[in-house]
Amino acid sequence: MKSFRKIALLSCMLYVGMVYSQTADDIINKHIDAIGGKDAINKITSQVTYTDLKLMGSDATSVTTLITGKAFKSVLKIGGQEMIQCITLTGGWTVNELAGSREAQPLSEEMVKASQSILQPGGELFNYKTKGDKVELIGTAKEQGVDAYKLKWTSSDGKQTAYFYIHPKTYYLIKREIVVMMKGKEVTTSSIFTGHTKTDIGLVVPFTTTTVSMENEIIASITKIEFNKEIDMKIFDMPE
């Protein structure tokens, strides 16, 4: 019995040593390689993603359009109404028919700045140092039945914090938690990523995302992704 306990203890010590022998950068580099590598990410000049969603007991669809480093637009359609959000390098705007408004409203400077990371493919971890952000390895946490690596990301201005959970074998991102301030209170939005699939450009994308925020759940299932289409920048202009 003592020998079994000793073996178990040694195994545990060995595993802990393996976890901490890797740095945050080691894990991030393996993650980037696992999803296609820098070459696949850097090939992306534009991306259009078509998604089916289930939210608040209703079915919806969305189309998101990205021009790398320049602009992003999301159009959500539910129950015959639209909710649009647009982010560019210089500002942003929204139309929310669900809230009874058909007129475009400018987004706050704070919200635009907090959302501009979406303009770059690869996510917050990709080239994080060049953006002035910080990442540290917290340890591991049980997620989807595995001891996932848990990384803490902090934006360059220190105003945004997110936690990334990386699968220890595939090195895919399987969960992301981001903490934001809403009406003076911290709100955590948690997203679970599954169905990782290699696309025709070589990028591996999770085709199903389950997001929970303030007890609301959204399940998003990608139906099609188009890369490097010609896109007219005028679609990002705020309507008058």
Report the predicted TM-score, pTM, of the whole model to 2 decimal places. Answer: 0.84
> Helix, strand or coil for residue 101?
coil
Query: How many structural domains does the chain have?
Result: 1
Instruction: Confirm whether 9 is domain-assigned.
Output: no
> Helix, strand or coil for residue 122?
coil
Amino acid at 80: G
Instruction: Confirm whether 195 is domain-assigned.
Output: yes
| pLDDT at 228 > cutoff 90 | yes
Of the candidate ranges 17-26, 108-117, 137-146, 204-213, the one whose mean pLDDT is the lowest: 17-26
Question: Which residue range is the domain that position 209 belongs to?
Answer: 23-236
Residues facing 218 on adjacent strands? 55, 211
15-74 pLDDT per residue, tens: 444 444 589 999 999 999 999 999 999 999 999 999 999 987 899 999 999 999 999 999
Instruction: Confirm whether 168 is domain-assigned.
Output: yes
Mean pLDDT rounded to a whole number for the chain: 88
91-130 pLDDT per residue, tens: 999 999 887 878 999 998 888 887 888 898 988 999 999 8
Instruction: Confirm whether 7 is domain-assigned.
Output: no
Instruction: Confirm whether 15 is domain-assigned.
Output: no
CA angle 49, 54, 59 (to 5 degrees): 90
How far, rounded to the nearest angstrom, does the alpha carbon of residue 52 sit from its chain's CA centroid? 17
Instruction: Confirm whether 129 is domain-assigned.
Output: yes
| pLDDT at 173 > cutoff 90 | yes
What pLDDT, on the 0 to 100 scale, is given for residue 10? 40
Say which CATH number the domain at 209 has: 2.50.20.10
Binned at pLDDT 50, 70 and 90, residue 182 comes out as low
Instruction: Confirm whether 2 is domain-assigned.
Output: no
Instruction: Confirm whether 68 is domain-assigned.
Output: yes
Q: How far apart are CA 114 and CA 155, in angstroms?
A: 9
- 82 touches 105 (CB < 8 A): no
Beta strands in the chain (DSSP E): 46-55, 58-67, 71-78, 81-88, 92-96, 105-106, 134-143, 146-154, 161-166, 173-182, 185-198, 204-213, 216-227
